């Protein structure tokens, strides 16, 4: 049986003045995972390492996100990080001062056979 999506959570994160896309992406992932709990894993005695975790990050400059650093903040599962065009850059006081806003969607799949 193919794995089925059992969970989808979203989050946002930012880097106010540093212009760091990876920092904003990590904060978006942390925002998403801090809003939820996968209690069914313990309830059903499922191995969290069997989860397939798909993370999609949206930022204005996807090439500036380190997917390995984003992956490192997730505690369990077989993790895949995909960085796409999205998010928002907001100019601040100077030409090199921008706020980076990232969005994250985290989908968890399990084989429930």
- Distance CA(101)–CA(13), nearest Å, equals 6
Token pair of 30 as six digits: 């942390």
**Beta strand ranges found along the chain (DSSP E):** 4-15, 52-59, 78-85, 88-91, 98-110
Q: 47-51, 72-76, 93-97: lowest mean pLDDT where?
A: 93-97
Q: In the block, which residue shows the tokens 């896309």?
A: 21
Give the SS3 label for residue 99: strand
Residue 28: pLDDT band by 50, 70, 90 thresholds? Answer: very high
Query: What domains does the chain contain, in order, with CATH numbers?
Result: 4-110 (3.30.1330.20)
Structure tokens belonging to residue 65? 């996100």
**Phi/psi of residue 93, each to 5°?**
-75, -30
């Amino acid at each position: 049986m193919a794995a089925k999506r059992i969970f989808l959570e979203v989050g946002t994160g930012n880097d106010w003045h540093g212009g760091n896309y990876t920092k904003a992406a990590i904060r978006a992932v942390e925002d998403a995972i801090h809003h939820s709990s996968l209690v069914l894993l313990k309830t059903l005695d499922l191995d969290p390492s069997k989860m397939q975790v798909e993370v999609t990050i949206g930022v204005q400059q996807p090439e500036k996100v380190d997917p390995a650093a984003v992956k490192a903040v997730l505690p369990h599962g077989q993790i895949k990080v995909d960085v796409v065009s999205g998010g928002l850059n907001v100019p601040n006081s100077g030409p090199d001062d921008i706020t980076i806003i990232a969005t994250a969607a985290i989908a968890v799949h399990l084989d429930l056979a």
